[in-house]
Amino acid sequence: MKEERVFFRSGKLSIQGLYASSDGGKGVVITHPHPQMGGSMRNNVVDALITTFYQNGFSTLRFNFRGVGLSEGAYDDGIGEREDVKGAIDFLAEKGKKDIFLAGYSFGAWVNTRLIANQDFLSDAIMVSPPIDFVEFDFSGLEGKVGLVICGDRDQFCPVTRLRRITEEIGSRLEIVDGADHFYFGREDKISGYLNEYLVCCFIPGDV
């Protein structure tokens, strides 16, 4: 898997990303954890997601939110960051990707929620450890739009009991990683395994 450094626009800002091209029309945007807590596109969970999607025939785009790495701008409490995600989706569309997924880890999952609720052109969404006990989540409008949610059974910011109720309400598949906290060190293969199983089981190989 070869990723190339790219830049795309988010309003007036230039956003830094890494893009891996694959044949066909499937693409995925993957968003990273909290910028003010050291989060960036260079992350173990993001790596696991990127690799698994690519192995399933997706072109992949990860990027640094505004103010992180070489991305212009400054942290905007999730508001401007939504514009960054829109810019990433537009980048994939310009590359000819018509079957676009959105995957987010932690803060990235939170940023993605309003886009998922307000957009109908996305094919599917995946969340890893949405930090429901750390930031205020609004799950309205997400019914039938989030296919898979993954969480560790020791997650400090995402209690499984509460998450289970939420995923039942919005109709998402929930997978629990035994022994994993919010950071998944040493459990990345479990994330890959659950995601691979979901993609193979639920989506016909090939392009839309």
Q: Contact at 8 Å (CB) between 43 and 34?
A: no
The whole-chain average pLDDT of the chain stands at: 94
What domains appear along the chain, each with residue ranges and CATH number?
A: 4-202 (3.40.50.1820)
Q: Can you tell me the distance from the alpha carbon of 101 to that of 125, in angstroms, rounded to the nearest whole number?
A: 6
pTM, whole model, 2 decimals?
0.95
Listed in sequence order, the residues at least 6 apart from 122 whose beta carbon sits closer than 8 Å to its beta carbon are 89, 100, 101, 102, 115, 116, 145
What is the predicted pLDDT for the residue at 118? 80
Residues in the chain: 208
What is the predicted pLDDT for the residue at 204? 54
Residue-wise DSSP of 60-97: EEEEPPTTSTT--S---TTHHHHHHHHHHHHHHHHTT-
What is the predicted pLDDT for the residue at 120? 77
What is the predicted pLDDT for the residue at 205? 54
Whether 208 shows a pLDDT value over 60: the answer reads: no
- Considering just the CA atoms, what is the radius of gyration of the chain in Å? 15
- Reported as a single tens digit per residue, the pLDDT across 142-195 is 999 999 999 999 999 999 999 999 999 999 999 999 999 999 999 999 999 999
- Reported as a single tens digit per residue, the pLDDT across 25-82 is 999 999 999 999 999 999 999 999 999 999 999 999 999 999 999 999 999 999 999 9
Tell me which H or E stretch contains 6.
strand 4-10
- Reported as a single tens digit per residue, the pLDDT across 87-127 is 999 999 999 999 999 999 999 999 999 889 887 778 899 99
- Reported as a single tens digit per residue, the pLDDT across 182-193 is 999 999 999 999
Q: What is the mean pLDDT of residues 7-12?
A: 98
What is the predicted pLDDT for the residue at 206? 47
